[in-house]
Amino acid sequence: MIPIYIMGREYMVPETLTIMKAVEYAGYTYIRGCGCRGGICGACGTFYRFLGDYRLRSGLACQTVAGPDMVIMQLPFFPSNRPDYVLDEIKGSPHEELRRLYPEVFKCIGCGTCTRTCPMDIDVMDYIALMKRGDLKGAAHKSFDCVMCGLCASRCPAQITQFMAAMFVRRLYGKYILPRAGHLEKRVSEVKGGKYEKALKGLAAMKQDEVKKLYVEREREPDLAEPGKWMPKDTTNL
């Protein structure tokens, strides 16, 4: 058992638990700040320190393992600048629109606190620099793993809400910069035209065993691990 401190109070919890599980073990019930439990939704942003260590650390409560003498504070919500916009109505250049909606992005002082705070190891400061230079494609790609926990914004001395600006940039990129997916448009119009209605109705009318059989016998790519297909037979030297 190890001692941890939640909102200033000491609790003994088993070691190896994540912060989230340790908090629950201590008797708290999550009504906010817990979502996927899998490091995807960003709902469980957490700050912590260790007693006797000046450094303020951050992480996702569902992913970070609680350690002895950890002093924990969760931040399930962070008030952020989130201006309204309608993507279809953007008239000027996407970069100008970014400047209009998120002027604070251009006040970045390059301290790197956001990058050090990010629990997803994203180089936040770098994608902000790309935004400033007008490289929205680069910023969209670099920020793609963001889980919107908001920890970067909570520490930024320039008061930038990096994760919100990045979401806007990814949307701009998807709408105005990325080439349109012709095959997707074709498939959507097929779906809307009712091409699959009959097959869908047939599927819905099937018994469970028939659906299972259909699933087992479905067409699929060759098994990657099956010798003689993609993998060489003798893998001892790999």
Q: Which residues bind ligand FES (CB under 6 A)?
A: 34-37, 39-44, 60, 62, 147
Q: Which is nearer to ligand FES, 43 or 128 (CB)?
A: 43
Long-range CB contacts (< 8 A, 24+ apart) of 137-142?
A: 137/173, 137/177, 139/166, 139/169, 139/173, 140/166, 140/169, 140/170, 140/172, 140/173, 140/174, 140/177
Q: How far is the CB of 8 from ligand FES (least distance, A)?
A: 23
Q: How far is the CB of 58 from ligand FES (least distance, A)?
A: 13
Output the residue with the shortest Cβ distance to ligand FES.
Answer: 62
Q: Which is nearer to ligand FES, 44 or 114 (CB)?
A: 44
Q: How many CA atoms lie within 13 A of 99 on its CB side?
A: 9
Q: How far is the CB of 102 from ligand FES (least distance, A)?
A: 24
Q: How far is the CB of 116 from ligand FES (least distance, A)?
A: 19
Q: Which is nearer to ligand FES, 36 or 214 (CB)?
A: 36
Q: Which is nearer to ligand FES, 136 or 149 (CB)?
A: 149
> Which parts of the chain are beta strand (E)?
2-6, 9-13, 45-50, 57-60, 70-74
- CA dist., res. 191 & res. 124, Å (int): 39
- CA dist., res. 138 & res. 144, Å (int): 10
Q: Which is nearer to ligand FES, 36 or 200 (CB)?
A: 36
Helix (H, G, I), strand (E, B) or coil at 3: strand
